[in-house]
Structure formats: structure tokens, C-alpha cells
Amino acid sequence: MIRLILIAIFLFFFFLISIPLFLIEWLLGKISMNARHRSSRFIVASAFRMCMLIAGVKVEVTGKENIPEGACLFVANHNGFFDILVSYVVTKKVMGFISKKEIKKVPLLNIWMYYVNCLFIDRENIREGLKTILKAAECIKSGISIFVFPEGTRSKTGKMAPFKEGSMKMAEKSNGIIVPVALTGTAEILEKSFPRIKSGTVTIDYGTPINTNEMSREEKKFLGAYTQQKIQEMLDKRVS
């Protein structure tokens, strides 16, 4: 319980000092968007790193050599809130997450999400959802990686729900590179111990990149299922 309170206190002061930081980041963007991308990423990653430190989270990483030099689409399973923190801190790329539209209404948080290139998707509106997917593809083309959890929501059982095939269109319409990501241990930190935060070790494995440009049209129809299978294989390897 103490860890949860300490994180809440830290976030309160972080968002308090964020108000002048927003102005600085806005002015920086007028000079150089690339500089703002990197500055905002550093600030948010530092805040995430502090939350992980307070929570007592340690991270084991494998497959970092599979992360390409350029922008790509990272696709991962989703177990808990700390998936986002761990992924953002460890990946060390200028990248944004695909988030549900409801988060866009959260004051201050939504501004930081805008500055770190997050996109909001309306799952109930197919047309608006497609616009977000196309915008994500443009981000990748411009050098900003995108991180997505195609299950659509956190798993409460530890088993992955079927991936939404539409999420894969981001890769097809950009540079075609997908990096499968397997996360384990994040739900144990918060979701399974709430209202306590339980310290522990989480793992993040980056799999071999999938080049959709080398796949047939028929194979692309089931790209979500194919990527999910690759992630499941990494998860199974962790258990065995």
C-alpha cells in the first residue's frame, strides 16, 4: 500500500511541474519537432522509470538486437498497467502508443500523450478507427515507431485474446516491419495485488522482426493471428 501511495504522490508533483514543462515543450516544437520528440520522450521515460523504482520493478530483457534502426510497429500482449511503463523505458525509441479514446479526456495526461506521439482509437467507430490506423502508418513512415496491444484490453486470465487484424494494417501501410513483443510478470505488480503494489521482476522479449513486404496477400489476411502465434511461442519459451 505504501508503494501505491508514494507513486500517487510522485505523480501529483510530476503533473504539477508538467504545467510549465508543457510550455517549454511547445516552444521547443516551434524550433525543432525532432528535438521536442526526444525531449518529451526523455521526460516521460524518466517519470516512468521513477514509478518503476518506487514499485520495486526489475526488468529482464532479451532480443534487443531484433529492434531495427528505423521506425517500426511493435506488437505486444497486454497483461497490466506496467506493460506500458516497461515497454516505453526499455525500447528507447521515439514512439507512441495506440490508446483507447477515453484516455484522451484525462487532463494533463492527455497532453503528455500528445507530445509523445500517442494516438487515440475509437473502437466503436470503424471509420474513425481506420483514420487512426492510417495516421499511425504515417507516423511510422516519418520515423516514429508505434506500439500497440492488439487484444484491445488487458487480459485478466493471462491468456491472450484474439488479436484484432485491423491493428496490423499500420505495418502494411508503412514500412512493413513488425516486431513481436512478449511481456510477462506485469500483472503481478499491480492488478493481481491491488491495492498493494508488489515488487518483482518482469520480462520483455523482442522477437524476430516480421517483414510484411515479403508475405503474400493471403498471409497478410491473418497477420494478426500469425504475430500472436509468434508472441505465444516466446511466452511458452519463458515458461518451459
Is 37 a member of any domain? no
Tens-place pLDDT, residues 97-106: 999 889 999 9
Closest Cα to residue 94, out of 76, 67, 121, 56?
Answer: 67
3 state SS of 205: strand
Q: Give the structural domain span for 107.
A: 57-239
Band of residue 146 on the pLDDT scale cut at 50, 70, 90: very high
Is 5 a member of any domain? no
Is 23 a member of any domain? no
Is 21 a member of any domain? no
Tens-place pLDDT, residues 106-129: 999 999 999 999 999 887 787 888
The model carries a pTM of 0.93
Section 147-168 average pLDDT? 83
Which strand (E) or helix (H) includes residue 62? strand 57-62
Kindly state the percentage of the chain with pLDDT values over 70: 100
| Residue 74 and residue 207 in contact, taking contact as beta carbons nearer than 8 Å | no
Kindly state the percentage of the chain with pLDDT values over 90: 70
Q: What is the domain-level CATH number for residue 138?
A: 3.40.1130.10
Q: How many domains does the chain have?
A: 1
Q: What is the DSSP string of 127-150?
A: HHHHHHHHHHHHHHHTT-EEEE-T
Is 234 a member of any domain? yes
